[in-house]
């Protein structure tokens, strides 16, 4: 397989996987392109490489910046904006996990807590709703705490060992 074919296959596959970590295909493809780029890329270079519109590129780059995995780079003598992404795979995984927790898990935990603390009117259906939503809340909260402890670890032997398990 030649470079261009391998690069296109990587970007396409990463784009398809994007939905698994909570972003759309174009966002994932932009991140993948920046991930394998040897230098920061401009909006125009991203557009040309991925054959997507300026609006699509701009909107998705902004969202990637909001996620904390893409940053603007200043290129001396250039007026254009250039972008790069985190190159350390484990750091990238930590940033994505933290952001997914903030965007997805935390709101669910909050809702489950609200629902599980409703007034018990003495009916069987209310008690069952409270019981089950409290159990889900406790599970989600514990999982989120464990995830946060894992992603906040410095790159020590424990973190390395856990990442090796999932390879």
| DSSP state letters, 83-141 | EEE---HHHHHHHHHHHHIIIIIHHHHHHHHHHHTS---S-HHHHHHHHHHHHHHHHHH
pLDDT higher than 70, residue 9: yes
Q: Can you give the pLDDT at residue 161?
A: 62
Q: Which residue has the tokens 């409270």?
A: 130
Average pLDDT, integer, range 140-154: 79
What's this model's pTM, rounded to 2 decimal places? 0.72
Q: Residue 167: pLDDT band by 50, 70, 90 thresholds?
A: low
CA–CA distance from 163 to each of 34, 67, 89, 90, 167 (Å)? 23, 22, 11, 8, 7
């Amino acid at each position: 397989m030649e470079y261009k074919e391998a690069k296109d296959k990587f970007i396409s596959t990463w784009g398809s996987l994007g939905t698994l970590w909570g972003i759309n295909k174009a966002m994932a493809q932009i991140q993948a392109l920046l991930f394998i780029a040897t230098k920061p890329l401009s909006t125009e270079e991203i557009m040309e490489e991925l054959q997507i519109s300026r609006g699509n590129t701009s909107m998705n780059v902004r969202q990637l910046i909001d996620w904390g995995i893409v940053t603007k780079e200043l290129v001396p003598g250039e007026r254009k904006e250039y972008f790069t992404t985190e190159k350390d795979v484990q750091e990238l995984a930590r940033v994505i996990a933290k952001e997914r927790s903030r965007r997805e898990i935390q709101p669910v935990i909050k809702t489950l807590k609200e629902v599980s603390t409703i007034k018990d009117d003495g009916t069987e259906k209310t008690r069952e709703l409270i019981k089950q939503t409290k159990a889900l809340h406790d599970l989600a909260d514990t999982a989120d705490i464990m995830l946060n402890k894992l992603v906040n670890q410095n790159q020590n032997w424990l973190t390395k060992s856990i990442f090796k398990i999932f390879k």
